Chains A and B, each alone.
Chain A
Amino acid sequence: KQEVTQIPAALSVPEGENLVLNCSFTDSAIYNLQWFRQDPGKGLTSLLLIQSSQREQTSGRLNASLDKSSGRSTLYIAASQPGDSATYLCAGGMDSSYKLIFGSGTRLLVRP
């Protein structure tokens, strides 16, 4: 069974800090890895997608990396802002299927 795990489950930081969210997966058959943001009671917004052939992707203050050999991905957020407060979910895409397998998320609070 494919599993995706996110650590930590919750994180509270003061504004301006750089932070790292972790995602690990057990199945090397994961084809790509996506990071999503979810605000309370809302749907998911895709942030970054990393293909299995890539090592990292960047968008603004966000940088995501992927290491398939170790089964790990990280999301780095630079100079965090209160508006970054949300739940961040990672999801693995399988080569043999179109479904996404999600972790439980990291709830981030950035304090002003």
Chain B
Amino acid sequence: DTGVSQDPRHKITKRGQNVTFRCDPISEHNRLYWYRQTLGQGPEFLTYFQNEAQLEKSRLLSDRFSAERPKGSFSTLEIQRTEQGDSAMYLCASSPSRQLAKNIQYFGAGTRLSVL
């Protein structure tokens, strides 16, 4: 499978615990994005990497959230001290640096987080 891969697909955790999600972009895509989607809503942008550099962060990304892309390949999104309001689908997307049209992004299947 050469698409964007996210792991795990589902995560159930208790309030206050830390969780970490992983995203493997399409090979050789140097741009990587994280979005959050709550039930009945469209995805909301969280952050964006170009290679290993985190170039843009949403105000939604509170200090409990941290994203990394240490080698410019896979990325992790960590949520510390989870709250029930963090329950959502976390989507990862990637895009190549050279593309015919800007903003084309290829999405993974997402990680669904449930905080009890």
Contacts and interface: CB of A to CB of B under 8 A. Distances in A.
Nearest to A42: B109
Given A49-B103, A105-B41, 12 more contacts: A32-B101, A34-B103, A43-B110, A44-B91, A46-B105, A91-B43, A93-B102, A93-B103, A98-B102, A99-B48, A100-B105, A101-B45
A12 interface: no
B42 A102 contact: yes
A98 B103 contact: yes
Interface of B: 4, 31, 33, 35, 40-45, 48, 55-56, 58, 91, 93, 95, 101-110, 112
A89 interface: yes
22 contacts: A32-B102, A34-B103, A36-B107, A43-B91, A43-B108, A45-B107, A46-B106, A49-B101, A89-B43, A91-B43, A93-B102, A97-B56, A99-B33, A99-B48, A99-B56, A100-B33, A100-B35, A100-B43, A100-B45, A100-B105, A102-B35, A105-B42
Interface size class of A (residues with CB under 8 A): 20 to 34
Contacts of B44: 102
A100 B34 CA distance: 11
A4 B42 contact: yes
B109 A100 contact: no
B40 A100 contact: no
Nearest to B103: A93
With a 10 A CB-CB cut-off, give which of A43, A91, A93, A105 has the most chain B CB atoms: A43
A46 B104 contact: yes
Contacts of A97: 56
